[in-house]
Amino acid sequence: MREDVYDYVVVGAGSAGCVVAARLSENPACRVLLLEAGGPDTDHARIRVPFYTWRLQRTEVDWAYKTEPQAGLAGRPMRWPRGRVLGGTSAINAMVYIRGHRAVFDGWAAMGNAGWSYQELLPLFRHSERQERGADAYHGADGPLDVADLREINPLSCAFVEAAQELGFPFNPDFNGAEQLGFGFYQVTQRRGERWSAADAFLRPALDRPNLFVATGAQATRVVLEHERAVGVAYVQGAEARQARADSEVILCGGTINSPQLLLLSGIGPSAHLQALGIAVAVDLPGVGQNLHDHLDTAVAFACREPISLGVISEPAAELSYRYFRRGPLASGGPEAGGFLVTDPALAIPNLQYHFTPGWSVGFGRDRPRLHGFAIWPGLVQPASRGYLALRSADPFEPPIIQPNYLAELADLAVLMAGVRLARELAATQAFVPFIDEAFQPGADVLSDEALEAYIRSHANTIYHPVGTCKMGSDAMAVVDTRLRVHGLAGLRVADASIMPTIVNGNTNAAVTLIGEKLASLLV
């Protein structure tokens, strides 16, 4: 078996992995290998076009995972798209840039995770960011990650924000600034109307460095351990089994699914589970794969009487506008506006987030009664329900068991029910009078608590934000410490969404980029 030697081996070229590899390679004396199971992002032209987000799912750039059938969702499994390409999920997501409420990070610090409070992390957020509005106390303008206003805002999205103000909710011009509460328009990780992924922002500018090595089509199969220390990674590239040695450290950035899966395959995890699969136990860490949680939402969709929705995407003018000016509906990733609120005044952190799409996003646009429509998506962003991830077998190429246990806690259902009711109130305002035709989902007959519960259980969907399976902390179920070192081993760290002890209450990609920056700051 061929073995090459590096200082650091980074597994996974997603949002955190691109940051880590790029930042470490800024030191010319440091040899860095970045392993990515997928291929180059430059091989897929659709990645660049924001609207094609939904068309990237279940293609070669998607791991295309599925959960177990969900008892809380009428027995339905959920599809979990995860990026399998340079840039990871930042290459296939909806590009919404939300950091999360400051109290979430302060909560991490209060759990004993020193160095993870909001004020301590804010400089790293600013360090990453190239905010097109310019720098201020909350934003940076010199970083590699472009954060932009939408180039065009659909009239339906404007009506949504106006509707919220009619109901007394404040307008919020910046969900990542002084206050998260309120309604407004989302900023996106785009540059001049094109997707700007972690590969664009961090990795591509570093590729010319002679000390950075990137291997695509290279799927890690286990962490190589010697005397309670990680010393390398075994992987398969093409038909060849290979091994890369890390003289300093191995860093797992595979995400909430792949990082715990690789730990388990390497004998790091709950001993009973490993022994049942015939895997030798290297470190008994019961928390590996546990604490899995995710955001859940459900569509409140309406037919639109005016031909102004993203349904115009099929018209030649839409393609021409994007081809020559990078404008028009193809520059929209779908969610254009949204808002944050609390369903209980006693809550310190917003627990309900809205995404508004000025087009049929129900069933990825396949379920629609006519060409033009829109959807209001209330989302549960502080879930109480917890699940787990486990191996099906010792085969590294077999997808793991993914059991998020959606709506296992009835408190989660109550938040979504409140969210659907408010979505209907928003649609009934004067702002929507010129546009709204009829309710599509749920129907006008879905009024009782029982009918609304049945609708949510049969229609709710993931917001694609799974976290928590290698959680940070010092308790018995923690997997990594505050410096992201795996407990019980030397030379091994995890840096991705899996380390979140609790989920941020918003789109997770910005926080995952932050986790990459945090790890890099600990090493460089």
Instruction: Give the whole-angstrom CA distance, residue 476 versus residue 291.
Output: 12
Which residue, among 25, 61, 26, 68, has the nearest Cα to 40 in the 3D structure? 61
Burial classification of residue 145, based on how many CB atoms lie within 10 Å of its CB (0-12 exposed, 13-18 middle, 19 or more buried): buried
Which residue, among 295, 262, 291, has the nearest Cα to 505 in the 3D structure? 295
Which residue, among 128, 130, 164, 124, has the nearest Cα to 146 in the 3D structure? 130
CATH number of 35's domain: 3.50.50.60
Cβ contact 90:199 at 8 Å:
yes
385 is a domain residue: no
Question: Are 432 and 499 within one domain?
Answer: no
Alpha-carbon dihedral angle through residues 263, 269, 273, 279, given to the nearest 10 degrees: 50
Question: Are 171 and 191 within one domain?
Answer: no
Question: Are 223 and 127 within one domain?
Answer: yes
Partnered with residue 195 across adjacent β-strands are 190
374: left (phi over 0), alpha (psi -120 to 50) or beta: beta
504 is a domain residue: yes
- Write a three-state SS string for 127-192: HHEEECCCCCCCCCCCCCEEEEECCCCCHHHHHHHHHHHHCCCCECCCCCCCCCCEEEECEECEEC
280 is a domain residue: yes
Q: How many residues does the chain have?
A: 524
Phi, psi of 131 (to 5 degrees): -80, 120
Pairing of β 187-188 and β 352-357: unpaired
**Max Cα-Cα span within the chain:** 70
Which residue, among 459, 484, 417, has the nearest Cα to 249 in the 3D structure? 484
Partnered with residue 183 across adjacent β-strands are 171, 339
Question: Are 348 and 325 within one domain?
Answer: yes
Question: Are 11 and 57 within one domain?
Answer: yes
Domain count for the chain, please give it. 2
Separation in Å, CA 292 to CA 131, 353, 404, 499: 32, 20, 6, 10
Question: Are 212 and 68 within one domain?
Answer: yes
Structure tokens at 504: 């941020």
Domain that holds residue 329: 151-185+296-380+408-459
Instruction: Give the whole-angstrom CA distance, residue 227 versus residue 223.
Output: 13
Cβ contact 441:435 at 8 Å:
no
Give residue 45's pLDDT.
85
Which helix H or strand E contains 322, and what residues bound it? helix 316-325
Residue ranges of alpha helices (H) inside 227-283 are 255-265, 271-276
Give residue 1's pLDDT.
54
Which of 438, 459, 480 delimits the end of a domain? 459
Which helix H or strand E contains 283, and what residues bound it? strand 283-284
DSSP state of 312: G
Partnered with residue 76 across adjacent β-strands are 70
Question: Are 175 and 319 within one domain?
Answer: yes
CATH number of 419's domain: 3.30.410.40
Which of 459, 475, 500 delimits the end of a domain? 459
Residues serving a catalytic function are 465
User: Is the pTM here over 0.75, yes or no?
Assistant: yes
Question: Are 196 and 179 within one domain?
Answer: no
Give residue 368's pLDDT.
64
Q: How many CB atoms lie within 10 A of CB 69?
A: 12
Question: Are 108 and 219 within one domain?
Answer: yes
Question: Are 9 and 35 within one domain?
Answer: yes
403 is a domain residue: no
Which of 459, 482, 501 delimits the end of a domain? 459
Instruction: Give the whole-angstrom CA distance, residue 419 versus residue 229.
Output: 48
Question: Are 227 and 270 within one domain?
Answer: yes
Burial classification of residue 147, based on how many CB atoms lie within 10 Å of its CB (0-12 exposed, 13-18 middle, 19 or more buried): buried
35 is a domain residue: yes
164 is a domain residue: yes
Question: Are 321 and 453 within one domain?
Answer: yes
260 is a domain residue: yes
402 is a domain residue: no
HSE of 319, CA atoms in CB hemisphere, 13 A: 4
Which helix H or strand E contains 514, and what residues bound it? helix 509-523
**Average pLDDT by stretches of 10, the chain with 524 residues:** 86 98 98 98 91 92 98 98 98 98 98 98 98 98 98 97 98 98 98 98 98 98 97 96 98 98 98 98 98 97 94 91 95 97 95 96 63 95 98 98 98 98 98 94 93 97 98 98 98 98 98 98 94
Phi, psi of 468 (to 5 degrees): 100, -5
Instruction: Give the whole-angstrom CA distance, residue 141 versus residue 131.
Output: 5
Cβ contact 35:224 at 8 Å:
no
CA angle 212, 215, 220 (to 5 degrees): 120
| Residues whose CB is less than 8 angstroms from the CB of residue 195 and which lie 6 or more positions away in sequence, other chains included | 47, 48, 49, 50, 91, 95, 189, 333
